[in-house]
Structure 1
Amino acid sequence: MPVVEVDGAKVAFRVDGSGPGLVLVHGTGGNSETNWSQLVGRLPESRTVVRPDYSGSGETIDDGGPLTVAVLAAQVVAAAEQAGATPFDLVGFSLGAAVATYIAAEYPNLVRSVVLLAGFVSSTDARQAMQFELWRDLIRTDRRAMARFILITGFSPDFLSGLSRAAISEAVDEIVANNNWDGMARQVELDLTIDVRDQAQRIARPALVIGCVHDHMVPSARARELAALIPNARYVEMETGHLAPLEQPEEFARLVLDFLADDHG
C-alpha cells in the first residue's frame, strides 16, 4: 500500500482505477478493506478510487495519541492529494461521515460532492453516548462479546437471521482475531466527542445523506438530523442495518453512482 506522511503519521491508502477522484472514508473499527472491498468492484474503473486508513485503522502507523476529526480529515485529504485524485467526490460512512462533513466544509475547493452514510453530527444524544461507552468498556474487558455486539447491532435482524450459526461464529472469530482493538478504542473516544454541526451547516456542495432504517448503532434519526443541517441536502433511506456497505453493497453503489451522475453528468 502507498503511504503519505502527515504530522508524523504514516497514512496508508489504497488506489483503484483512474479518472476523476472518488474518496471513501471508513467508519469506527473499520478500514479501507473491511468497509469498502465489496463496493470497489461495483464502481467504474474510470474513477480513481482512494481508500485511506485513518489513524487507528489498517496499515496506518502513528504515535497512538488522542484523535480529532481535524487530524483524520487532514490524513484523508493528504492521501487523496498523494494519489493525484483532487478534486474529488467524497463518501463517508459512520465516523467517516463526520470526517467527510468536516472535509466538505473546511476543504471546499477539493470537494465536488459528498455522500454521507449512517452519519451523525454530534455525540450529545444520550443513547448514542451510552452505546459508545459500552463499546469502550467491552473493548477493554470482553472483546468476544464486543464482536457479537457489533454483529447484532450492525446488521438488520432479517439479514443476520439469514446467516447460519456457524457463519456467525466464524464472523465473531474473525473480528476478535483481526480487529485493531487499540485503534478502535481510540476512535471510540473520538466518537464520544464528535461535533461537526457547524461544518454541516457550511457545506456548499451537492450532498446526499443516507439513513439506514434498521440501524441500531446510528439510528436514522441521527442521519435525518445531519441532512437537515446541510443546505439543500438530499435524504434517502436504505432497508438495512448500520453496515449497509456489507449488507446491500449493490444498492449502496447504485445510490452513490446515481447521485454522482445526476450532479456531474
Structure 2
Amino acid sequence: MVANISLMTSTPPSRKSVLVRGSGPGLLLAHGAGSDIEDSFGPVIENLAARRTVVGPDYPGSGDNPLPDVPLTLDMLADHIVESAVQSGVHSFAISGFSMGTTVAVRAAVRHPERVTALVLSAGFARRNARLKLAVDTWRALGAPGGDGRVLASYLSLLVGGTRWLDARSEGEIGEQLELFAAGMPPGTDAQLALFDELDVRADLARIDVPVLVVSPSGDLLVTPLHSRELAEGIPGARLATLDCGHAIAAELPAEWAALIDGFLSSVGG
C-alpha cells in the first residue's frame, strides 16, 4: 500500500520499470498496493544496496507498467517480480515485501522455491479481515472517478502515518504531504486494491521453508499488528520484530528498518 507520508503480464517486465542497485547477494523488493518501489522503499534502497543487488520492479499499473487486459491475480504479481529479477540477471534472492507485497512475497516463495532464499515481511498480512476490508473499500470509494483527491489524501495520511509522527508535523508539512498524495496515486491503484477481495495466503505459510523475518509496526492503523502476529505464527521458525512507527515505515524509521532487514539477511547468509 501507499508508504509515503513521505502479474505476470502478457509481455515481459519492462527493464525501464525495474530498479537495480548495488552488488552482492540478490534482494528482490515487493511494494504495496497503490504504490511503487520508490514510494514503498525509497529511503532504504541505497542502504540495502550497500551489500546486495537490489531489484525493485513496479507492478502492472504502477510506474511505467501498463495494466494487462485481464484482472490482476496474486500469482501474476508473484511471477512478475520473480521474472523481473531473472531478467535483471539475479537468479536467486531474498524477498522483502511491504504491505500487500508481503502476500506477493509469500506466494513467490511457494511458486519459486528454487529461487527464494529468505523473506522479510513488513507491515503485512496473510488475509484481509473485516477491518482491513473496511479500510480498503473506503479507499476505493474515495478514489473512484469524480472523487475528491484531497479527501482521499487526508484519509490515507491518517491511516498510514503513525500518530506520534503526524502529531509532530506542522500544518504546512501536512499540506505538502496531502498535495503529494493527491497527485501521486498510480493509475492501476483500483485494480491492485481489487485484489484484496481474494487475497489469502494462510495455506501457503506452512509451506515456506526459508528463514523469515516479520516486521510489525506497533502503531500501524492500516494493517494492524494482529496481522504480523498471524504471519509469524503461521510460518515455521519465523522471527518477529517490532518497530515503533505507523504503516509508512520508510518515511518514519528508514534507518531502523534498513538495519533490521540487513541484520537479518546477514545472519542467515542472505
The TM-score, its normalising length taken from structure 2, stands at 0.92
Instruction: Give the distance between the partners of 2:221 and 2:152, measured in 1 at CA.
Output: 14
> In structure 2, what is the equivalent of residue 58 of structure 1?
63
- Equivalent-residue separation in structure 2 for 1:249 and 1:64 (angstroms): 36
DSSP 3-state at the match of 1:103: helix
Does the 8 Å contact 1:9/1:60 carry over to 2? Answer: no
Q: Secondary structure at the match of 1:27?
A: coil
Tell me if the contact between 2:35 and 2:62 (Cα under 8 Å) persists in the aligned partners: yes
- Which residue of the other structure, out of 133, 137, 143, is the alignment partner of 1:129? 133
Equivalent pairs: percent with the same residue? Answer: 35
Aligned residues: 259
Kindly state the Cα deviation for residue 46 of structure 1 after the two structures are TM-superposed. 3.3
Displacement of 1:86: 1.8
The 2-side partners of 1:68 and 1:44 are apart by 29
1:1-265 equivalences under 5 Å are 6-8=9-11, 10-11=13-14, 12-63=17-68, 65-123=70-128, 125-140=129-144, 141-180=147-186, 182-264=187-269
CA offset digits 1:79-121 (Å, max 9, x no partner): 1001111210110001000000111111111011000001111
- Calculate the TM-score normalised by the size of structure 1: 0.93
Gaps of 5+ in 2: 1-7
How has the CA–CA distance of structure 1 residues 64 and 58 changed in structure 2, closer, same or farther, with 3 Å as cutoff?
Answer: farther
Q: Secondary structure at the match of 1:210?
A: strand
Q: 2 CA distance for matches of 1:8 and 1:111?
A: 23
CA contact (8 A) 1:6 1:78 kept: no
1:110–1:9 distance in 2 versus 1, CA, 3 Å: closer
Residue pair 1:8, 1:62 contacting (<8 A) in 2 also: no
Letter in 2 for 1:61: P
- CA positional deviation for 1:29: 1.1
CA contact (8 A) 1:88 1:111 kept: yes
Q: Distance in 2 between matches of 1:264 and 1:120?
A: 25
User: Which residue identity does 2:181 align to in structure 1?
Assistant: I
Answer 1 or 2: higher relative contact order, Cα 8 Å, separation at least 6: 2
Are 2:21 and 2:46, in contact at CA under 8 Å, matched by a contact in 1? no
> 1:161-186: per-residue Cα shift (whole Å, max 9, x none)?
11111111111111111222x41111
In 2, Cα distance between the equivalents of 1:220 and 1:103? 23
What's the secondary structure of 1:129's corresponding residue? helix
Tell me, yes or no, if the aligned pair for 1:56 and 1:184 is still in contact at 8 Å.
Answer: yes
Contact 2:119/2:212, CA 8 A, preserved across alignment: yes
Pairwise CA RMSD: 1.5
Distance in 2 between residues matched to 1:192 and 1:212, nearest whole Å? 24
Q: Which runs of at least 4 in structure 1 moved beyond 3 Å after TM superposition? A: none
Alpha-carbon distance, 1:9 to partner: 6.0
